[in-house]
Amino acid sequence: MSGGAPAVPVLYEDNHIIVVVKPPNVPTQEDESRDLDLLTLIKADLKHRHGKPGNVYLGLVHRLDRPVGGVMVFAKTSKAASRLSDAVRTRAIRKQYQAVVYGKPTAATGTLRHHLLKDTRTNMVAVVPADRTGAKEAILDYRVLSAQEGMSLVEIELHTGRPHQIRVQFAAIGCPLVGDQRYGGSRAVPGQQIALWSTSLSFEHPVGKEQLRFQSRPPAAYPWLLWGTAIT
């Protein structure tokens, strides 16, 4: 992609979907910052590469937090967007992540269940009692892959797509993500990049119906390099 815009690697593309690796610190869609966003970047790229006149359709079916990078799928047709949105809603899309957290969860594998509530005024999410008005259940499975230097490399399978879910849930058990400026508390290092990456997406093609899986390695940077950047 040209014009000084960040590179957005394309993992797969056909007439119905495009699968890319979202660069960290790029908003998924336009926000109040007015910074260049991924949706706009991909639309411009499709328009340029395919010589499309007029507006380019691109359907947003799931999101990643601004500081997070990794695999995302977008729909190129309204039919694909509708079917992928249904798959997200029914949890038919398998979403896996890796994160580096401070400390080590008590159990090497487990399920985290919390009820979360977002404060739209501050854009902060908190763990609240299940009966709190507006609270939504958040569920994820995790597996500790390795631990060293007071940190753990964790593999995560997300079952619900709540805002800031992984970050809030791990902070709630005393293991905030390395580099999380919002939920890292006293352990947050100003300017450090969050160690959270969307490593794998698996889903049924919305039109062809074949099973697809796409992967992306975390960046070759600290703290990932303590373990290399291999995905399992």
Structure tokens at 150: 């007071």
The yes-or-no answer on residue 37 being catalytic is no
At 175, give phi and psi (nearest 5°). Answer: -125, 65
| Residue linked to tokens 């977002």 | 118
Residue 67 preceded by cis peptide, ω within 30: no
- Looking at 65, 86, 131, 141, which residue is catalytic? 65
Helix (H, G, I), strand (E, B) or coil at 183: coil
Q: What is the total residue count of the chain? A: 232
The 3-state DSSP class for residue 78 equals helix
Other CB atoms within a 10 A radius of the CB of residue 161 amount to 15
18 C-beta neighbours (distance < 10 Å), count:
21
Residue of 165, 68, 161, 160 whose CA lies nearest to 116: 165
What string of DSSP letters covers 20-59? EEEPTT--SS--TT----HHHHHHHHHHHHHT--SPPP-E
Q: How far apart are CA 132 and CA 115, in angstroms?
A: 9
Catalytic residue list? 65
